Amino acid sequence: MERSVLKKSAESNKYLPLTLLAITPSVLLPYLEFRDVLGIFSIFFLLFLFYSGKRIRFTLSNPGIETSYFNYYAISIILIVLTLSVPEYIAGASIFMVIAFELLSRVKKTKGASLINISVLTTFSVIYFLFYFVSTGLSYSIDFILFLSLIGGITGALIMSVDTESDKRVTLLLSTFTVFLIFNIYGFSARFDQLFFAFILSFILALSAMRAGVADESGLLSATLIGTLMIVFTDIRFFIVLLSFYIIGSFATKYRYSMKKEMGIEEPAGGTRGYANVFANSLSALFFAMNYGVYGSDLFLVSFVASVAAALGDTIASEIGKTSKKVYLITNFERVRAGESGGISLIGEISALAGCGVIVLIAVLSGILPPSLSTIPLIAGFIAVHVDSVLGATLEKYGYLTNSGVNFFATLSTMVFCYFLIL
C-alpha cells in the first residue's frame, strides 16, 4: 500500500515542473497578445506529450497521472481561447489556482484540512487577481477580488473533499472558471466585514453539523458555500429560513429511525448529508435568493420560500410516510411498500403540508415574507412535493434521474407555480 502511494507521488512530482510551466501563459496574459499566449501554451502542451513518452487519450473518469496532466493542458488551452469573449483574468486565475491544488494534494491531510484548503486556494486567487489588475493598470475593487477569491476558494476546497474517480485537476479548473465567470457577470461584491461574517457563521454552523454527524466534509463545504452566498446576497433572515429546513429535516430523518432501519428503508449513513444532498435541496433556493437580492422581484421572493417549503415538505413526508402501513404509488394509486419512490400516504400528505406551512410561517415571522403573499409559497411548495413524487415514480424509477436530481427539479419547479399563482 505504502509503495503504491509513494509511486503515485513520485509520478506526480515528475510532472510538477511542467505544471509550473503550464501556469506561465496565465501570468503572461496581461502582457502578451492572445495568439502569443496560445502559441506558448501549445508549445508547453507538445513538450508535455514528448516528456511523458506515453500514448495518452482524453478521459475524465479515473485518469492516471499522465492523462490528468494531459486533460489539464487541453482544458487550459480551451479556456485561453475563451478569453476572446470572457475576461482574461477569469481564465488566468482558474489556471493559476491549479498550482495551489498541486501543493495541497502533496500535503498529508490533517485536522482542519477544509479550512486550510479554503485559505490556500483563496490566497492564490487573491494573488493572481491583484497581479493581473496591477499589471494591466485596470481599476479594481478589493472587495470584489476578495469576494470572487473566497467563493472560488470554497469551491476548490469542495472539489478536493469529494471522493470521486473523476479528474480533480480538471474539475477544479472548470469549477473555479465557472464560479468566477458567473459572479463576474453578476458584478456583485460584498464588503469585507459582511463577507467575513457570512463565511465564519456559515462555516461554524456547517462544522457543528459535521461534528454532530449530520453532514460529511463535502456537506460542510457545500453548506458553507450556500450559506455565505445567501447571506451576502440577501441577509441572515433568508439563511435562517434555509437553516430551518436542515434542522427540522434532520430531526425528521431520526424519526423512528430504528424501525425504518429494520425495514431497510432508512437514510444511508444515518441521514448524513453530502454535497449532492445539500445542492439538490438548496441550489434552487440560492438561485431565487440571489436574484431577489439583485432584482428585488416578489416572484423570486415567493419562489425562494416555496422551494425551501417543498424541500422540507418532501423530507418530512418521506421520513414520516415511511412508517405508514398504507402507501400508494402516485401515478396509478396501486399499493406499494413503504419507502418506494413516488409512494404517498395520508400521513405523508399531512406531514408535507405541515412542513410547507412551517417554512412559510418562519418566513413570515422573520419579516421577509409579507402575510399577504404567504398562501402562494404554501400552495406552490405543496404542489412541488408531488412533482417530486411523480419524478420519483417515473424518471428515478427507470434510472434517468437520481434522488438528488429529483429533489433539485422539484424545488426548481416552484418558480413555475409561483409565477401563475402570483398573477
Number of domains in the chain: 1
pLDDT at 42: 80
* Number of C-beta neighbours around residue 321 at 10 A: 23
Task: Report the chain's mean pLDDT, rounded to a whole number.
Answer: 86
Mean pLDDT, rounded, for 179-199: 89
Q: Which residue has the higher pLDDT, 338 or 27?
A: 27
Domain assignment present for residue 345? The answer is yes
Domain assignment present for residue 190? The answer is no
Q: Which residue has the higher pLDDT, 422 or 288?
A: 288
Domain assignment present for residue 192? The answer is no
Q: Is the predicted pLDDT of residue 394 greater than 50, yes or no?
A: yes
pLDDT at 307: 98
DSSP output for 94-119: HHHHHHHHHHHHTSPP-TTHHHHHHH
Domain assignment present for residue 43? The answer is no
Question: Residue 360 belongs to what domain range?
Answer: 235-423
Q: Is the predicted pLDDT of residue 8 greater than 50, yes or no?
A: no
What band does 28 get if pLDDT is binned at 50, 70 and 90?
confident
Query: CA separation (Å) from 311 to 214, 249, 376?
Result: 17, 9, 16
Query: Mean pLDDT lowest for which of 15-19, 175-179, 201-205?
Result: 15-19
Domain assignment present for residue 169? The answer is no
Q: Assign residue 141 a region: left if phi > 0, alpha if psi is -120 to 50, beta otherwise?
A: beta
Domain assignment present for residue 27? The answer is no
The per-residue pLDDT for range 142-165, each reduced to its tens digit, is: 999 999 999 999 999 999 988 777
What band does 224 get if pLDDT is binned at 50, 70 and 90?
very high
pLDDT at 55: 60
The per-residue pLDDT for range 94-128, each reduced to its tens digit, is: 999 988 988 888 777 666 688 999 999 999 999 99
Domain assignment present for residue 279? The answer is yes
Domain assignment present for residue 174? The answer is no
